[in-house]
Amino acid sequence: MAGHYPILFMGNRGRVAHECILDTRPFAEVGVTVDDIAKRLIDNGFHAPTMSWPVTGTLMVEPTESETKAEIDRFITALLAIRDEIRAVEKGEITAEASPLRHAPHTVNDLVADWDRAYSREAGCFPPGAFRVDKYWPPVGRVDNVFGDRNLICTCPPLEAYAQAAE
């Protein structure tokens, strides 16, 4: 990833331990956030890595021994494709707000509904590294994480229901 994403906490020989912290903070200058990158990884079928820990605005990538080399290569392909999308924003070819990064993750509804975005349906729904046959489709598109974190809504049954069930 060196040369594509700044990497934090490398040893004096340029190596990292079992995890790698990608610094996405420089991309904020053009409006691309760590959330944009994490949600775009969902379009590739990956659960986003740990975000903003131990450093705000970063992604901690920690591949496990259970992943195959092919799966790790697919993850790298996805990150490089996302970096290309960031470069398009940096060059002014598209704004961050109009980019597939900001509209991620893309749903089945995005695939079949009318398309009025500044990028192709193919680029949005099937980015490099994404499976075409066995693709994961998230049930919802972008949500406001901060609003959700600050405004919790409990959908649990009322406490009385638990008391009745215990009888």
Give per-residue pLDDT as tens, 14-23: 888 788 899 9
- The per-residue pLDDT for 57 is 95
- What is the per-residue pLDDT across 85-126, written as a single tens digit (0 to 9) for each? 999 999 999 999 999 999 999 999 999 999 999 999 999 999
Task: Kindly report the backbone phi and psi dihedral angles of residue 7, in degrees, each rounded to the nearest multiple of 5, phi listed first.
Answer: -115, 130
Cβ count within 10 A of residue 104? 25
- Say whether pTM exceeds 0.75: yes
CATH dotted code for 7-142:
3.90.1150
Q: Report the alpha-carbon distance of residue 149 to residue 151 in Å, rounded.
A: 6
Which amino acid belongs to residue 4?
Answer: H
Burial code (b: 16+ CB inside 10 Å, e: under 16) for 19-45 equals ebbbbbbebeebbbbbbbbbbbbbbbb
**CA 109 to mean position of chain CA atoms:** 19
